Amino acid sequence: MIRSKSGNLVFLDTTLTLGTTQLTGKARSFSLTIDNAIEDKYFAETGLDAGADFGRGAQRITGEVVLEALNDNEFAIMRANTATKLRFQNTGANIGATPTTDYLQQLDVPQAKLNSPAMGYAGNNRIYTFPFIGEKPLAAQAITSKTVTATATVVA
């Protein structure tokens, strides 16, 4: 599961280009879960030990985006059952000058559907928590990730 932190940008697009429409001053937080549907296989001849092989189902991408209730835009998208494109991005400090390179973590869900939101408050501000599910577009992946880091290893 990936959860947002400060400095993240959230983009929600309904056009052909992913990463065009940033939710500025509206996105409060997000979370994203990637389920690869991997399961151990147990065979009669091996008893309780898992076999060397494993099964894999369809990858499932789920999450939620918490938005401040400023207008009806996302409700309209959800009501129309419009496929959306979501991008979650965090750009960090500069790590190279030629070419200009910054730390970057970018997660793209190229086809997602917003589901009916839960409504609530954050302080005195009305918020909507929109759950979403990522769908696998034709000839593409359900999610892509891009990471730029200056270190040879990533520390968890």
**Domain presence at residue 44:** no
**Domain presence at residue 155:** no
Three-state SS string over 32-43 comes to: EEEECCEEECCC
**Domain presence at residue 33:** yes
pLDDT in tens, 4-58: 666 789 999 998 789 999 999 999 999 999 998 888 887 777 667 777 777 888 8
**Domain presence at residue 8:** yes
Cβ count near 31 (within 10 Å): 16
Please state the separation of Cα 33 from the chain's center in Å: 7
**Which amino acid type is present at position 138?**
L
Number of independent structural domains in the chain? 1
pLDDT in tens, 124-133: 999 999 999 9
Domain assignment of residue 24, given as a range: 2-38+54-148
The CATH number that applies at residue 68 is 2.30.110
Q: What is the mean pLDDT of residues 99-111?
A: 87
